[in-house]
């Protein structure tokens, strides 16, 4: 493995860093307090080619490799998890999913609009009774002439109020197969319909407060038959493959949060003086800084390895889950330590570390909690119990 960045990777990193530091960082606190991300940021990300991500130029994308995309998420995550979260859902969960599973017509029709940021995408899997256990969803799709009627409720949907298009997972009704996974279908649903009720969650979140989250209810919502991704009953496979792309984005975003915690802590412990010396000269503080740096470097290597494997076309399920698990846990520890090192200032919004501390909890939860990543890792390592199958 050679992590010397190619000229293109360096360029994407430079573009993302400049955008994140000059356009996002200065307004990150204001966005967190107002609970809103200005739409102009979406347009700027589209113009810079960030939203086009790994999608081919033929569909209006930027055709970058996965390592470049990880570098972009790292830079955005360093500035603001809400902005990074917006893009991970839009570009990695929705666009990469359509690119992989969509028909030629679906790709031609939808991907250019999404790459230009003219339509925003969201991914609607979670329900009140189905979180980690995605196969337990209760939203139904009833087949009628020319299409399907969707009924059900989705919760915690990032971009849900601002999106024009959702990938919605629903179970065929009546159920055709005894195995719950086999009944799930992925639907591409235009959201500007009267049979769809969207309720904003603004003000209810611990972190990611500038992200847009919605609870979405479908009441006899018609979806035409050409809006299925990869056929009836293929939805569980589609959902899991999208999450694998999303997990790499979350891992890279966590790496960015970790870097921001580290930078803030180094800066503060160099300046703050107590007992007649800078606090960075106390050995216990040095131990914290050393641990933060060692785990930061470990996360970075794990995230880049997962991206590199994807770029080689090699299987990366195990390595992506390891990266997501380790990078989010390490960043959560770093954020907690960063607040402690800043003392009472870390506990107030005078410094951004309290925002990192609130935001990082979301990264441990969505796209498979840390427990679920541990399950994936253990299953990949141990394999199936042949006696049971």
Ligand X SMILES: Cc1cc2nc3c(=O)[nH]c(=O)nc-3n(C[C@H](O)[C@H](O)[C@H](O)COP(=O)(O)OP(=O)(O)OC[C@H]3O[C@@H](n4cnc5c(N)ncnc54)[C@H](O)[C@@H]3O)c2cc1C
Using CB under 6 A as the binding rule, whether residue 132 contacts ligand X is answered as yes
Q: Are 111 and 58 in contact (CB under 8 A)?
A: no
Residue 357 binds to ligand X (criterion: CB under 6 A): no
Distance of CA 108 to the CA centre of its chain: 24
Binding mask 137-156 for ligand X (x = CB under 6 A): -------------------x
Taking the least distance from each CB to ligand X, the nearer of 181 and 278 is 181
| Residue 179 binds ligand X (CB under 6 A) | no
SS3 344: helix
Residue closer to ligand X by CB (options 54, 82) is 82
Interface residue with ligand X, options 62, 158, 321, 373 (CB under 6 A): 158
Tell me the Ramachandran region of residue 164: left when phi exceeds 0, alpha when psi lies from -120 to 50, beta otherwise: alpha
Give the footprint of ligand X on residues 71-100 (CB under 6 A): 89
Q: Please enumerate in sequence order all residues whose Cβ is within 8 A of that of 286, keeping only pairs 6 or more positions apart, or say none.
A: 280
369 binds ligand X (CB under 6 A): yes
3 state DSSP class of 245: helix
Among 49, 131, 164, 180, binds ligand X (CB under 6 A): 131
By the rule CB under 6 A, 365 interacts with ligand X: yes
DSSP-derived pairing of the beta strands 184-190 and 121-124: unpaired
Catalytic annotation, residues: 367
Q: How far is the CB of 375 from ligand X (least distance, A)?
A: 6
- Measured CA distances, 145 to 141, 225, 319, 332, 355 (Å): 13, 9, 44, 50, 50
Complete DSSP assignment for 289-326: HHHHHHHHHHHHHHHHHHHHHHHTT---HHHHHHHHHH
Pick between residue 91 and residue 265 the one whose CB is nearest to ligand X. 91
Which range in 20-28, 111-119, 124-132, 267-275 contacts ligand X by CB under 6 A? 124-132
Q: Give, as ranges, the residues between 197 and 226 that touch ligand X (CB under 6 A).
A: 208
Would you say the C-alpha torsion 22, 333, 86, 62 has a positive or negative sign?
positive
CB 196 → ligand X: shortest distance, Å? 15
Distance in angstroms (rounded) separating the CA atoms of residues 101 and 167: 12
Q: Whose Cβ is closer to ligand X: residue 87's or residue 292's?
A: 87
Q: Does 325 interact with ligand X (rule: CB under 6 A)?
A: no
Stretch of 63-71, 223-231, 287-295, 359-367 contacting ligand X, by CB under 6 A: 359-367
Secondary structure E strands in the chain: 121-124, 140-144, 147-158, 165-173, 184-190, 196-200, 213-224, 228-229, 273-274, 277-278
According to DSSP, the β-strands at 213-224 and 196-200 are antiparallel
- 117 scored as a contact of ligand X (CB under 6 A): no
Cβ burial, residue 290 (10 Å; 0-12/13-18/19+)? exposed
Start-end of H helices in 164-215: none
Among 157, 296, 302, 303, binds ligand X (CB under 6 A): 157
| Residue of the chain from 14, 39, 57, 371 that contacts ligand X (CB under 6 A) | 371
Residue 306 near ligand X by CB under 6 A: no
Using the minimum distance from each CB to ligand X, give the nearer residue, 62 or 126.
Answer: 126
Site for ligand X contains 366 (CB under 6 A): yes
Q: Minimal CB distance to ligand X: which residue?
A: 131
Q: What is the binding site for ligand X (CB under 6 A)?
A: 89, 123-126, 131-132, 156-158, 208, 362, 365-366, 369, 371-372, 375
């Amino acid at each position: 493995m050679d992590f010397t960045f190619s000229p293109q990777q360096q360029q994407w990193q430079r573009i993302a860093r400049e955008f994140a530091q000059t356009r996002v960082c200065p307004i990150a606190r204001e966005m967190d307090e107002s609970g809103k991300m200005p739409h102009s940021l979406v347009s700027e990300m589209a113009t810079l080619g960030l939203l086009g991500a790994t999608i081919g130029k033929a569909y209006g994308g930027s055709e970058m490799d996965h390592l470049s995309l990880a570098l972009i998420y790292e830079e955005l995550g360093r500035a603001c998890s809400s902005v990074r979260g917006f893009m991970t859902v839009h570009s990695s969960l929705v666009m990469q999913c359509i690119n992989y599973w969509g028909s030629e017509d679906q790709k031609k029709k939808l991907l250019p609009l999404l790459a230009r940021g003219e339509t925003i995408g969201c991914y609607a899997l979670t329900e009140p009774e189905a979180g980690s256990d995605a196969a337990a969803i209760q939203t139904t799709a009833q087949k009628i002439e020319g299409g399907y009627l969707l009924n059900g409720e989705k919760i915690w949907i990032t971009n849900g109020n601002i999106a024009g298009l959702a990938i919605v997972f629903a179970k065929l009704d009546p159920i055709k197969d005894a195995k719950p996974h086999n009944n799930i279908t992925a639907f591409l649903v235009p959201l500007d319909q009267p049979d769809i009720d969207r309720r904003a969650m603004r003000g209810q979140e611990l972190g990611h407060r500038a992200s847009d989250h919605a609870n979405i209810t479908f009441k006899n919502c018609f979806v035409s038959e050409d809006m299925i991704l990869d056929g009836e009953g293929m939805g569980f496979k589609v959902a899991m493959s999208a999450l694998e792309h999303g997990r790499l984005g979350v891992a890279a975003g966590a790496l960015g949060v970790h870097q921001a915690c580290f930078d803030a802590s180094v800066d503060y412990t160099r300046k703050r003086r107590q007992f007649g010396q800078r606090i960075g000269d106390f050995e216990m503080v040095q131990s914290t800084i050393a641990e933060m740096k060692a785990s930061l470097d470990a996360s970075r290597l794990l995230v880049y390895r997962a991206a590199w494997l994807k770029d080689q076309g090699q299987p990366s399920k195990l390595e992506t889950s390891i990266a997501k698990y380790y990078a989010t846990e390490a960043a959560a520890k770093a954020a907690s330590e960063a607040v402690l090192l800043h003392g009472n200032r870390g506990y107030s919004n005078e410094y951004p570390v309290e925002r990192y501390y609130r935001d990082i909890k979301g990264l441990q939860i969505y796209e498979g909690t840390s427990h679920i990543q541990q399950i994936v890792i253990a299953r990949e390592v141990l394999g199936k119990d042949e006696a049971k199958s």
